[in-house]
């Protein structure tokens, strides 16, 4: 096709085959969404925010954060790695430069492959059916894509790797014990589940990154953080066997898709810049879930992020699931050692980018967390065991030691450690 290929001006939004509403672009480029009348009668609001209340009539996004696209629909788009693959696919298929691709084009390209439960029609191109995924081939292709050397990437990488968010390369697959991987975009057998496999960045991550994330997942679980099941999956990349971190998807239960909205999608806030404090984050959790237990879970996650040096705690790394009746805080994800912008937390703690213990307690008091000290002690005890978790998962000693030094140097960790000596 040529650069004159027509862009998408209208999309039907569906869930489990049922029409939810219509997204459309007007002659001025403004994007509008309107619920279908049948969905207003029998469905649920796509976001906890009042602007998405079930009612007839078209409405715009409350802010222009995502080029005029509503945050809940922006959540259906990948970022970083997935956008790289999408841009290359659309360049090949339609000769479109990245700046020519509209938000509706991108949603039409995603079709039924988006994270969460939302689907979009008509498709920008016919559904791509590919063979069952081979992890070694996908890992190899991910490295080529990062290096810019793959002029003709495998169709399998576009399909399996084109939907997840985040900057790091990753793919979605269906997996079962002692069985070959299957596509996560087909009906899967009962003994299979949906998983996401994270490859490492060629330039930013150590070779043992998969083992680092596995150690962090176990450390977070020991700290009482609500974590989805995880495992390591092995593949041979350029002749060397590597272990990659894999996590069971919480937006899938067998062949059922669950609706998810990120905190950033709910607030129309970008994850690309610091825009929130945990004080507001906990208020947002209470607003969405109406459940103090979810607020307490979010507080525990905050404490873990601070003590474990996970500073890439942006608004897209917190999410809510709709369970058919109400919203609940989703399990934690993307927990690993990270430096953040300027070596500070993306989400501030009582205004601090490198928070002290008093800042954590200030957030706890404002949110009404009654057993904050017990939570802090529990999380500290788990994070103090980082060397053990790292050793058990085979993290190389040089990487484990560098991370341990950074963790121990954190103001809050150092203060707690000093109190116990």
pLDDT string in tens for the chain (421-residue length): 344 678 999 999 999 999 999 999 999 999 999 999 999 999 999 999 999 999 999 999 988 889 899 999 999 998 877 787 788 888 888 889 999 999 999 999 999 989 999 999 998 865 555 667 788 888 887 887 777 655 455 555 666 655 555 566 888 899 999 899 998 888 999 999 999 999 988 777 899 999 999 999 999 999 999 999 999 999 988 888 999 999 999 999 999 999 999 999 999 998 777 679 999 999 999 999 999 999 999 999 999 999 999 999 999 999 999 999 999 999 999 999 998 788 899 999 999 999 999 999 999 999 999 999 999 999 999 999 999 999 999 999 999 999 999 999 999 999 999 998 7
DSSP per position, 316-343: GG-EEEE-SSSEEEPPP---S-B--GGG
Residue 119's H or E segment, with its range, is strand 118-121
Residue 191: partners with Cβ closer than 8 Å, 6 or more residues away: 176, 177, 179
DSSP 13: E
Tell me the whole-structure pTM to 2 decimals: 0.93
Cα(18)–Cα(33) distance, integer angstroms: 16
| Residues 6 or more apart in contact with residue 315 via CB below 8 angstroms | 262, 263, 264, 267, 269, 270, 271, 275, 276, 281, 347
Residue 65 tokens read as 């954060």
Give pLDDT, residue 131: 67
Nearest to residue 298, comparing CAs of 358, 249, 369?
Answer: 369
d(CA 117, CA 160): 17
Please tell me the predicted confidence (pLDDT) of residue 153: 53
Contact between 327 and 260 under an 8 Å Cβ cutoff? The reply is: no
DSSP-assigned letters across all residues of 359-378 = HHHHHHHHHT-TTHHHHHHH
Q: Which helix (H) or strand (E) holds 11?
A: strand 10-15
Pairs from 396-400 (Cβ < 8 Å, separation ≥ 24): 396/206, 396/207, 396/208, 399/206, 399/208, 399/212
Q: Kindly report the length of the chain.
A: 421
The per-residue pLDDT for 1 is 39
Strands (E), 138-259: 170-175, 182-183, 193-198, 230-237, 240-248, 252-253, 256-257
The domain spans of the chain are 10-121, 135-252, 259-419
Q: Which two tokens stand for residue 256?
A: 């059922």
CA distance 142 to 170: 8
Q: Which residues pair with 215 in a beta bridge?
A: none
CB 160, CB 184: distance < 8 Å: yes
């Amino acid at each position: 096709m040529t650069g004159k290929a027509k862009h998408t001006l209208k999309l039907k939004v569906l869930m489990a085959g049922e029409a939810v509403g219509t997204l459309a672009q007007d002659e001025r480029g403004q994007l509008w969404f309107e619920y279908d009348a049948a969905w207003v009668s029998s469905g649920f609001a796509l976001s906890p925010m009042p602007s998405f209340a079930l009612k007839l009539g078209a409405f715009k996004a409350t802010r222009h954060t995502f080029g005029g696209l509503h945050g809940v629909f922006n959540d259906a788009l990948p970022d970083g790695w997935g956008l790289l693959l999408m841009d290359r696919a659309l360049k090949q298929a339609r000769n479109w430069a990245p700046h020519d691709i509209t938000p509706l084009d991108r949603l039409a390209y995603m079709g039924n492959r988006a994270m969460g439960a939302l689907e979009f029609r008509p498709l920008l191109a016919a559904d791509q059916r590919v063979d069952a995924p081979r992890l070694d081939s996908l890992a190899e292709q991910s490295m080529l894509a990062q290096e810019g050397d793959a002029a003709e990437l495998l169709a399998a990488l576009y399909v399996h790797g084109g939907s997840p968010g985040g900057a790091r390369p990753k793919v979605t697959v269906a997996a079962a014990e002692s069985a070959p991987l299957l596509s996560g975009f087909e009906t899967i057998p009962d003994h299979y589940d949906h998983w996401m496999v994270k490859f490492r960045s060629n330039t930013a991550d150590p070779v043992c990154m998969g083992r680092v994330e596995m150690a962090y997942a176990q450390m977070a679980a020991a700290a009482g953080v609500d974590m989805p099941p995880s495992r390591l999956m092995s593949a041979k990349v350029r002749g060397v066997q590597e272990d990659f971190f894999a996590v069971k998807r919480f937006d899938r239960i067998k062949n059922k898709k669950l609706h998810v909205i990120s905190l950033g999608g709910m607030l129309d806030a970008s994850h690309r810049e610091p825009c929130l404090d945990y004080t507001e984050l906990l208020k947002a959790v209470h607003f969405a879930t109406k459940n103090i237990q979810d607020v307490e879970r979010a507080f525990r996650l905050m404490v873990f992020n601070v003590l474990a040096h996970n500073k890439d705690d942006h608004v897209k790394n917190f999410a809510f699931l709709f369970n058919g009746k109400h919203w609940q805080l989703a399990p934690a994800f993307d927990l690993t050692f990270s430096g953040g912008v300027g070596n500070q937390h993306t989400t501030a703690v009582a205004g601090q980018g490198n928070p002290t213990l008093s800042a954590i307690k200030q957030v706890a008091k404002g949110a009404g967390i009654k057993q904050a000290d017990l939570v802090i002690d529990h999380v500290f005890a788990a994070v103090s065991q980082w060397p053990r978790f790292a050793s058990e998962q085979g993290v190389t000693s040089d990487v484990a030691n560098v991370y341990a030094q950074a963790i121990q140097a954190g103001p809050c960790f150092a203060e707690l450690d000093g109190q116990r000596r």
